[in-house]
Amino acid sequence: MSALASELSGYAFVPEPELRFAGEGLGKHPLMGLIQHGPYGLRYGSPNALRLALLAPARDLGKLRGLVAEFERPAKPKEATNYYPEYPGFSTLFKMPIAREDDRLVISFPMRWMTLREMATNSAWRPSYSSA
């Protein structure tokens, strides 16, 4: 039985797009392009640091902080070394550091979500904000 001319094929080939990087750099591999050229947005100026908000259950904040610290460290690929280049660390790659943790941007919550009524009556839950 032959396929009707009006039927669509089961797949289509879409070519990998060229990505833009700093200095008119082009490439198909995101990490290689960032390593070779830097981020595209550099031409528009960049903040002096990347500020992160940390939002996690209280028991997982340590893991989240560890992940943020890991972003800054260089890493060598263990698999597919012909495809993945060495990661130089966030500051080197993006040309800006990750800002120090700001207590105002760290929010922990209990494992069980409270109802609005419980939040309103539980003073231990209410976040405190410094005037700094």
Q: For residue range 55-71, what is the model confidence (pLDDT) as tens digits?
A: 988 889 999 999 999 99
Amino acid 132: pLDDT = 47
pTM for this one?
Answer: 0.67
Amino acid 12: pLDDT = 83
Neighbouring residues of 91: CB distance < 8 A, sequence distance ≥ 6: 72, 97, 98
Neighbours of 21 (CB within 10 A): 21
Q: State yes or no: pLDDT of 115 exceeds 60.
A: yes
Quickly tell me which residue has 């966030």 as its tokens: 90
Radius of gyration of the chain (CA): 23
Burial zone of 33 (CB within 10 Å; 0-12 exposed, 13-18 middle, 19+ buried) = buried
* The residue count for the chain: 132
Q: What is the mean pLDDT of the chain?
A: 85
Going by C-alpha positions, the residue among 20, 44, 115, 13 that lies closest to residue 29 is 20
Selected residue with higher pLDDT from 98 and 115:
98
pLDDT digits 0-9 by tens, 6-47: 677 778 888 889 999 999 999 999 999 999 999 998 888 878
Grouping H, G, I as helix, E, B as strand and the rest as coil, residue 91 is helix
Residues 87, 75: contact at Cβ < 8 Å?
yes
Amino acid 130: pLDDT = 52
